[in-house]
Chains A and B, each alone.
Chain A
C-alpha cells in the first residue's frame, strides 16, 4: 500500500476551484454532500442526484454520449463511487473522450454517521479507474495539487478520473431544489432549448 498522505483540502474549496472553470461544461452530482456542495454554486447546467446511490458515473456516461461536443463532469463521493465499481469497467471499456469523474473522498459515509468507507482502509479508486482503462487518473491532497489538475479535468481526452482527498469537514445542507422532475426539466431546457419539451 502506498504511503498515506494527509489531506488539507476542504470539500467546498475543492469544488469551488473546479467549478470556477466550468464554462459550458455539464455537471452531474452524486447524492449527499457533493449535491449540497454544488448547490452552493447552483447552475442550470447542473443535474443533481438526490438519490439512486451508485448512479452518478453512469448518468455522466449517458450524458457524455448524447453530448459529445460538451465536457461532462461527474462530482460524487467515495461511498457513492464504491457502490458502482462496475461502472468504472463500463466507462473504461467505452472510453468517452469528454467525460471526467471527480471523487470527493473523505473516506467516510458522512451522511449516515461518519462510518469509514473502504478508501480509509487502502482501497485506491484512482488505481481501479486506471486499471479499468481510464485515460488519465490521479489523486490530490491539497489545493495546489488540485489547481494543477483543473485544466486536465476539462481538456485532457477522457475518460479522466480524479480522487480529491478531502478533510472530514461537514457543512449544512444548503440546497432547496430537490424536485427531481424540476431538476431534470431545468437541465434539459438549458441544454436543449425548446426541444426539451418536444
Chain B
C-alpha cells in the first residue's frame, strides 16, 4: 500500500475514529508521564536563576504554551486548506476541535507571561510587538470559534472558519519574528537559533520535556474532541433520519 492509500483509508471518519480510539489513551499516558517528570524537574529540581530567582520557573510553563499557540494555529491552517480544497468532513471536524485548544494555550501564555512580567518588568502588560501580536492571535482564535457557533450548517461553518483561519495566518510570522523586527521588551528566542540553543542544559532539558508534555496533551485532547465531533454529527444525522 502506498502513502496516499493510507491517507485515503484514514480519511474515512469511521476508520479514523477506530484508529483514534486506540491512540487516544496512549497519548494520554504519555502526556501524564511527561508532566510527572517535567513538572517536578522544572519547578523543584532545576536551579533557581541567579538573577531572577524562582520567578524564572514560570518560563517552563509559559514558553511551551507560547510555542503551542503557534503550533496549533499551524495545524488549524493545514486543516483549513484541506477543508477548502477537498471539502473534507474530517478536516473540518479537526479545525473545529482544535480552535478552542489553541485559544486555551494562547490564554495560558498571555496569563503566565503577565504574571512573570509584574515582578520582572514592573508591569502586567506592555504594548510591545510580541505581546500585541499574541493578543491579536488570541482574538483570531475567538473569531474562528464565533463563526462555528454562529453558523448552524456545519459544512458552511467549516469553510467560513477556514477562510478566516487562512486570513489570520498572516499573523503567525509576525508573532514569530516580532522580537527580531522591532525592538521589543520581550526577549528574543534563545532555543530555536541558527547557532544552536543559547540556554544552559539544566534549564533546557526540563523545558524540552515540558514542551513535549504540552504537545502530548494537545494531541490527546484534539483526538478526543475530533471523535466527539464525529459522534455528534452521526447523532445529528440519525436524529434527522428518524
Partners in one complex: no
By a beta-carbon cutoff of 8 Å, the part of chain A in contact with chain B is none
